[in-house]
Amino acid sequence: GNFKAGNKQGTIMKKLCHAEEVAFEEIQKDFLRPFVPEYLGIVDGSDGEKYLQLQDLLSDFSTACVMDIKMGVRTYLEEELAKARHKPKLRKDMYDKMIQIDATAPSEAENRAKAVTKPRYMVWRETISSTATLGFRIEGIRRGDGTSSKDFKTTRTRDQVMTAIAGFVEGYPNAVINYINRLKEIRATLEKSKFFRSHELIGSSLLFVHNEEKSGIWLIDFAKTVPLPDSVNITHREPWVEGTHEDGYLIGLDNLINLLENLHMKSPVVKPNDSEICNPQVQESIPDQIETSTPGNTEGHHQQVLPDITEEKRVSEPELILSNNIKEKGTNEEDGKTSAVANDLHIPVKRTSKNVTNVIERKVLDETRN
């Protein structure tokens, strides 16, 4: 796989990709640094391969619920599409993938050939999910009970996406408002980030993690994050037309915040404490020239779609205690779930190594994205 347990406690190793290495190095000098996994350089793996050594974002969470959301209106680079169009070949494997999802998708000619070209498949694949409708799509979800889902390829409508996310946060009354605040902080930071302004982010994800105590969101996956061509400027909000390099990242982020605000309106929650919102890095680790952004700051030009109801909708203390104790998770139960997940992936479990358990969790999520 792409991930291995790190050499140090609280770290993980990801197979080296040069573009991702460059992205992490540039982000170290940018406002975005607190919103990505801590980057610890390049290390050699026991298999002779080189790896990026990164902060293990799951190391501080027990029984973590994890969701991977791929951002933007497309998941392929314009160069990939152009290359695929040069001497296009008919691909039976892509035809088979297409008909498994939608038997009516191929044209008559494609059905006769029982094959499609890669450009055709790449463009079609984006149209069947919420990538095309909302500017983001759910790649995978791992719940606190150890179950995982990857059946989101055709999750396309707003209602379908909201149902999936509602299931992800069910039983965690503070998760939604914490996520909204974190996403608004990310948006405000992106809008003043030099790195974000000068790059197109393709195939990059937001990783959502929560348990009963805390939650966090981080930007991950920069293998297709590349500098914009000279003289090309993008807004990250304009619809993509080939040649513009627009990625639609902020289209997806705006829609995601709006969707969560609507979900928040439907569920009574309590106002989160600052300690419940997970900060990946302490203030001292940020270079002096980098300013930290204020949670919820939207730089003054984002109209809030829904009113802030944090103060209006509070649950009473007895109700909160009841909701927090609906499900009590015992140690033996948790170990059993981890073992079951490990058995499914044929991964040996070392309960004395927290890193290995988190690699299992990351691999479960990785499985949902392939």
pLDDT single digits (tens) 327-356: 333 334 444 433 333 333 333 333 334 454
One domain, residues 207 and 70: yes
What confidence category does residue 69 fall into, taking pLDDT thresholds of 50, 70 and 90?
Answer: very high
Could you tell me if residue 329 is inside a domain? no
At 216-237, the pLDDT tens digits run 999 999 999 999 999 999 999 9
One domain, residues 1 and 69: no
Residue 116 has pLDDT above 90, yes or no: yes
Mean local confidence (pLDDT), 97-106: 95
One domain, residues 155 and 45: no
Mean local confidence (pLDDT), 107-113: 96
One domain, residues 179 and 249: yes
Among 244, 266, 288, where does a domain finish?
A: 266
Could you tell me if residue 226 is inside a domain? yes
Among 221, 236, 266, where does a domain finish?
A: 266
Range of the domain at 1: 1-56
One domain, residues 137 and 254: yes
One domain, residues 41 and 144: no
What confidence category does residue 368 fall into, taking pLDDT thresholds of 50, 70 and 90?
Answer: very low
Residue 282 has pLDDT above 60, yes or no: no
Could you tell me if residue 97 is inside a domain? no
What confidence category does residue 365 fall into, taking pLDDT thresholds of 50, 70 and 90?
Answer: low
Residue 275 sits at φ, ψ, to 5 deg, of: -70, -15
One domain, residues 184 and 244: yes
Among 247, 266, 285, where does a domain finish?
A: 266
One domain, residues 36 and 69: no
On average, the pLDDT of the chain sits at: 79
One domain, residues 224 and 190: yes
One domain, residues 67 and 44: no
| The pair of three-digit structure tokens given for residue 230, joined into one six-digit string | 């000279």
Residue 250 has pLDDT above 70, yes or no: yes
At 132-169, the pLDDT tens digits run 999 999 999 999 888 999 989 899 999 999 999 999 99
One domain, residues 138 and 31: no
b/e code 62-95 from CB counts within 10 Å (16+ = b): ebbbbbbbbbbbbbbbbebeeebeeeeeebeebb
Residue 99 has pLDDT above 80, yes or no: yes
d(CA 73, CA 252): 7
- Angstrom distances, CA of residue 300 to CA of 19, 171, 187, 344, 351: 33, 33, 12, 48, 48
d(CA 69, CA 365): 11
| The pair of three-digit structure tokens given for residue 186, joined into one six-digit string | 């990310």
Number of domain units in the chain: 2
Find out whether 42 and 33 touch, Cβ atoms under 8 Å. no
Residue type for 314, please?
A: R
One domain, residues 68 and 195: yes
Predicted local confidence at residue 264, as pLDDT: 94
Task: Please state at what angle helix 158-169 crosses helix 249-266, rounded to 10 degrees.
Answer: 60
Find out whether 101 and 128 touch, Cβ atoms under 8 Å. yes
Predicted local confidence at residue 38, as pLDDT: 96
Sequence-distant (≥ 6) Cβ neighbours of residue 333 within 8 angstroms:
none
